[in-house]
Structure 1
Amino acid sequence: MMLTLTRPDDFHLHLRDGQALARTVGDALGQCARALVMPNLVPAVDTLEAVSAYRQRILAHVPKGADFTPLMSLYLSQTLSPETLLHAKAQGVLAVKWYPKGATTNSAQGVAHLEALEPILSVMQEVGLILLIHGEVTEAQVDIFARESCFIEEVLIPLRAKFPRLKMVLEHITTAHAVEYVRSQERNLAATITAHHLLFNRNQLLVGGIKPHFYCLPILKKEEDRLALVQAAVSGDRRFFLGTDSAPHARSAKESACGCAGCYTGYATMAFYAQVFERAQALDKLNDFAAKFGAEYYELPYNHGELVLEKRVWQLPETLPFGDTVLVPFLAGEQWHWQVVA
């Protein structure tokens, strides 16, 4: 069985930097034609000079003639100026990413409360830059499984009331609550959904022992949440589209007493999504989810070219080279039933 798609977009991808790019860029261009690259490096990508330099480091790993375009974002920090945003779109920046301080990997430079940055959000609203949101509160008293729902009620709803014309993306949604909220909004809000949140619930992380390679932020949720995400992804609703949040870490950083959050799905992105959509008897909806709805929201043309998957059994690799070490990819060593072949 063969499945032919328009070359997809990944609207949420971590490529990292330095030696990691040899792994991540090569994997990405085998799965998608464009990827929106996250800016949470150390130091954060929060100036146009940093964006330009990072783009060039990425492009240095794209073979000549390869069909891959990195789409760039800025990191919302105290040092980001309104003047920078006025010139950002002209220099190819699509969006600004807000990481609440302490919410996830490399979020120490993030902003805990947006009140001080309202002038920046006003400029974004005027120039048409999209606000990308890691939608979790970080207060210690809030249960980790409730942080997304609390964020929607306590932060996102007031924020959207204050900036109704600011286009936003609620990244990597994980709950039925998030699905319902996005559906309730008529304009200027969309959401990305990852493959790992579509495939598994929190039992996969915790039952039978803690499995660090399923640990991600936002954390996996209940089965009813997973089913709501699947229903949203296959529904044909243009407000939901593909964003992997693929996030590589060296094996030693995951398999430790304080393991890092992130699942490396980027080596087999479309194989994972294809299995989700097949199980839901909705393979005919995958092309729109992966290659059209995100492009429409970001006001980009559809990609040219095709990606071909074949339904056949293959074994996912146990490890992958990662600079001078290795990483353990998502579902390492498992047998899978879809594979990109062209």
Structure 2
Amino acid sequence: MFSDIEVTSPADFHVHLRQGEMCKVVTPLVRKGGFKLAYVMPNLRPPITTTEMALTYKKELEAIDPGTEYLMTLYLSPDLTPNEIRKAKDAGIVGVKSYPRGVTTNSEGGIESYEAYYPVFEAMEKVGMVLNLHGEVPSDPTSNTCVLNAEIKFLPHLRSIHERFPKLRIVLEHATTRAAVETVKSLGETVGCTITAHHLALTVDDWAGQGFHYCKPVAKFPDDRLALREVIREGHPRFFLGSDSAPHPSETKSTSTPQVGCAAGVFTSAHLLPLTAHLLEEFGALDKLEGFVSINGRRFYGKEVAAGSEKIRLRRSSAPIIVPNAFGAGTQSVVPFMAGGRINWDIVDS
């Protein structure tokens, strides 16, 4: 038995496309997964810190797959100035991503003090650029801070930045806790929040000892997962999909070398829309799919779809779809989330 649903112009408002050969593997998979708009993260090596670097990167992505619209971001660093913000805005760059130092992949150059960037935030507020916050603080045994409470301890920073710059559009990225959901809901219309597909499925039990489920921020407790599901089921307009799809070579996800450790990131781009439909259906929110993957995020970013925009059709079948075990090959082989598992939805031709 089949049932079809249609979603207008889905948009992924947080995706990592990497560089070099890995970029060539994963960039076309954004569209394969049902998305034609990708909000691209800047944590490359070296990070994207200038307008010229962002535009060069965008051209590289367009050369790989011109069928996707790429919204570009800059990496918040001491090199970023108010003048560069104005230049970036004029060039069509949409946002600035903040990484606290050392909390995730390629964040070694991350920030340690938000106050130092107030002139940059003021310029962003004036020109209408978005501040994207990786919502964790670094682990610190002296303050009993670790991956399980790093997000909660970050939330006062979110509140203080919003209070100081109430017209600055801010997105708390990849929320994982009930505290984060409640904080965003309590703030003004200029504060939004992304939720990943994998955080709707995972809890701490699923990544402890399982490298392919390990990401930053880590999945938390069952009640935290429930909070993410509840806010989607509610249809709250300031919560929307940002996959944080983060490809790593499979060998870096399955490493057992203590000196190296497991790379942080879960890869979902290649089957993102069917996966999201599958998960929302599981907790009774399938009717909120279009709002979550298209309407809410596009509205927050001012990228609403035009009348008559293309719709993506999904079909549910009694014969589940098997998620491939890997994409790419050799050193560029990427294992997707739920590899070898079954999902109930697939993209079909109109």
Task: Compute the TM-score of the two structures, normalised by the length of structure 2.
Answer: 0.93
Q: Does 95-104 or 330-339 show the bigger shift? A: 330-339
For residues 300 and 326 of structure 1, the distance between their equivalents in structure 2, rounded to whole angstroms, comes to: 33
What residue in structure 1 maps to residue 184 of structure 2?
A: 182
What residue in structure 2 maps to residue 136 of structure 1?
A: 136
For residues 325 and 243 of structure 1, the distance between their equivalents in structure 2, rounded to whole angstroms, comes to: 23
What residue in structure 2 maps to residue 321 of structure 1?
A: 328
Q: Which runs of 5+ in 2 are unaligned?
A: none
Do the aligned residues in 1 keep the contact of 2:29 with 2:269 (CA within 8 Å)?
yes
Q: Secondary structure at the match of 1:125?
A: helix
What residue in structure 2 maps to residue 218 of structure 1?
A: 217
Q: Secondary structure at the match of 2:85?
A: helix
Structure 2 matches for 1:168-247, cutoff 5 A? 168-206=170-208, 210-247=209-246
Q: Rate the CA distance shift 1:139–1:215 in 2: closer, same or farther, 3 A.
A: closer
For residues 329 and 74 of structure 2, the distance between their equivalents in structure 1, rounded to whole angstroms, comes to: 25
Offset from partner CA, 1:193-215 (integer Å, 9 cap, x none): 00000112111112xxx110000
Tell me the CA shift for residue 249 of structure 1: 0.1
Q: Which runs of 5+ in 1 are unaligned?
A: none
Tell me the CA shift for residue 323 of structure 1: 7.2
Offset from partner CA, 1:148-171 (integer Å, 9 cap, x none): 011003x22222222222110000
Q: 1:307 aligns with which of 304, 308, 312?
A: 312
Q: CA RMSD for the aligned pairs?
A: 1.3
Q: Does 321-330 or 165-174 show the bigger shift? A: 321-330
Whether 1:89 and 2:89 are equivalent positions in the alignment is yes
Tell me the CA shift for residue 139 of structure 1: 3.9
Give the number of aligned pairs: 335
Task: Compute the TM-score of the two structures, normalised by the length of structure 1.
Answer: 0.95
The aligned amino acid for 1:316 is: V
Q: Secondary structure at the match of 1:168?
A: strand
For residues 328 and 139 of structure 1, the distance between their equivalents in structure 2, rounded to whole angstroms, comes to: 28
Tell me the CA shift for residue 322 of structure 1: 5.2
What residue in structure 2 maps to residue 80 of structure 1?
A: 80
For residues 120 and 167 of structure 1, the distance between their equivalents in structure 2, rounded to whole angstroms, comes to: 13
What residue in structure 1 maps to residue 107 of structure 2?
A: 107
Do the aligned residues in 2 keep the contact of 1:234 with 1:286 (CA within 8 Å)?
no
Q: Rate the CA distance shift 1:318–1:139 in 2: closer, same or farther, 3 A.
A: closer
Q: Secondary structure at the match of 1:337?
A: strand
For residues 40 and 103 of structure 2, the distance between their equivalents in structure 1, rounded to whole angstroms, comes to: 18
